[in-house]
Structure 1
Amino acid sequence: MGKFFSGPADVTLWDGTNGFYLLGYLADVEIGSKVLTHTIIDGNLRRYAVNYRLRAAMLQSAEEAITEINSTRDGTRQNIYLTKFDGLAVMSNVFAAAGHSINGREDDIVEVTAAGYNTVTKYKNLLGADGKFEVDSNSDGVADGWTDGASAASIVASHLSGGGNAQRVNLALSGDNFYYEVKAPFETARRLAASVYAREHTGLGTLDFTFGFKTLDTAGAVINTYADTYNFSAGQAQRVTKEVFVNEGQPVASVRLFVEYAGSGGEIRMDNAQLELGPLSDFKDY
């Protein structure tokens, strides 16, 4: 069995029926994987099993966690989120089971076994490739993964030296906004950073906008907003950022990176958007 994850993390289960279940902050998480069968599915997918070894001492209630996984969530495919201080790992579409194990070093370990067809996906930029605005699958002018609440939006040529696409958004009216929301559950205080390379699109007018991120609870309600307002002159371009140490005192389920109207209408062009756990860093599309 190969180990491909270790260290401290907030561990959370989620499915569409039961919602979120936070196992808690675990100081010592180890994940190993092994192939259960060598059956090839659709030509390229293998069946995997992944063992999670979670220290019971770090759980609020080991017995409660075992009951939640084995009874409430039995037979329902889960997404399992491991939120570290510098990234996110997600096991998607897996079945989970839990039990006790004992060895010579620890008296009691809760071992969660997750079996499914997907491997772990690891993120540094929580937006992944969607932060590049390259793909608009339905040709509606809005890049995949993003939500448009603005007066108009379209895919345009990037203003960055690497070329490719960018996202144009017309922030003309009060309430106009454009955002990307991602599940990144955590309860432990941590640093988050949002950034995007923005430009006043037309080269003719000014642009006032607010940029930052919101934390949301398990019901989808906003807990807090962390943002700054920018005033761009005609054609102005810069990387705008918001970096905050977040300590909400309650579980965070999702984080929403956003841009919105801020008092004077205009058109913004955006590329290389990033939302990351940890301090601000150079752009990544993974």
Structure 2
Amino acid sequence: MKLSRRHFLAGACALTLPAPRVWAASTLTFGPLRIDSLSDGHLVLPLEFGLAGLPEAELSALVARHGLAADGLTPPCNLTLLRDGTHTVLFDVGAGPDFMPSAGKLAEALDLLGVAPEEVTHVLITHGHPDHLWGLLDEFDEPVFTEAEYMIGRAEFDYWMDPATVETIGEERASFAVGAARRLEVIAGAVRKLEDGEAALPGITARLTPGHTPGHMAFGIAGPGGAVMVAGDAIGNHHIAFEQPDWPSPSDQDPALAAATRVALMEEFAASGMPFIGYHLPEGGIGRVEKAGSAYRFVGSI
């Protein structure tokens, strides 16, 4: 397995003040497999989104220890692209133009890699939240990746397509449900719905990792000489998720179930040493889990 890191300069940052944006792309290679983690930009979230409920002293220490901004979180969004010479597989499609101005930069990232949307053969979706799904359609409500076969977990698809979801998900996330259903409806007749443990493609296996959403899927990738897991939001950040993985996070739709999933993955990754790609983790999201006493730490240099 080989890892390389590249940085690309791209246009202006999509915040209120223009500034240069640095595109980071990290590459893993397993023999003929090339896996790129590329930027869709970043989110801008209130601090309590992921850290609500922490005692003030503990929160302040966490912010200082990890160099977090005291007034908010700006997690990166790391999309994964796999190429094996036959398939060009995109894991999630980013936020698109309608969620946050700081995200939705996938087209620029693909262009910098020399990959056209029509070259993508398969799109595998971890879950239906806006920063992972809303880039599915263009400004004419047509699929961006016109030649791709789409796949998503069956439980995840059924959840977002259920008309009752918008009424039960809570007021703050109601727009998530409306947006997900609108996009999934466009591909509903052709999307392949995956079960836990099912092979999506040769060497790519769906793994049910619920809690962040009811049917959240991770995807294990096995190649000559190595393996990696695309973990989506099953491990959602590089700080509290590692230091206190059993802490219920308000960013998860089922905090208790998500915590159980997160603890199990931490144990698995720490024991096996297998690298994984986290959607909102630093350094392109590619790294490993190491034990740190009774907790864990994210090691981004592998």
Say yes or no: TM over 0.5: no
Larger-gyration structure (1/2): 1
TM-score (norm: length of structure 1): 0.26
Q: Which has the higher strand share?
A: 1
TM-score where L is the length of structure 2? 0.25
Higher helix share: 2
- Comparing both chains, which one has the higher relative contact order based on Cα–Cα distances under 8 Å and sequence gaps of 6 or more? 1
